[in-house]
Amino acid sequence: MKEIKPEHYIDTILHSIDLIIRNLKLDLKQKIDKLNIGITGEQFVVLDTISCYKNMYQQKLSDILMKDKSNTTRIIKVLSDKGLITRESGSVNNRLVYMLNITEKGRKLIKDNVPKMKKYLSDIFINITDEEIDLLHSLSQKFQKDLSENTAI
DSSP letters along 40-69, please?
Answer: -HHHHHHHHHHHTSSSEEHHHHHHHHT--H
CATH value at residue 128: 1.10.10.10
**Confidence band for 2, pLDDT divided at 50, 70 and 90:** low
Q: How many CB atoms are closer than 10 A to CB 143?
A: 13
- Indicate whether 82 belongs to any domain: yes
- Indicate whether 3 belongs to any domain: no
- Indicate whether 1 belongs to any domain: no
- Indicate whether 133 belongs to any domain: yes
Its pTM stands at: 0.77
- Indicate whether 4 belongs to any domain: no
What would the pLDDT profile of 86-143 be if each residue is shown by its tens digit?
998 888 888 888 899 999 999 999 999 988 878 877 788 888 898 998 998 899 899 8
The domain of 140 spans 9-151
- Indicate whether 97 belongs to any domain: yes
- Indicate whether 31 belongs to any domain: yes
- Indicate whether 54 belongs to any domain: yes
SS3 at position 20: helix
Q: How many domains does the chain have?
A: 1
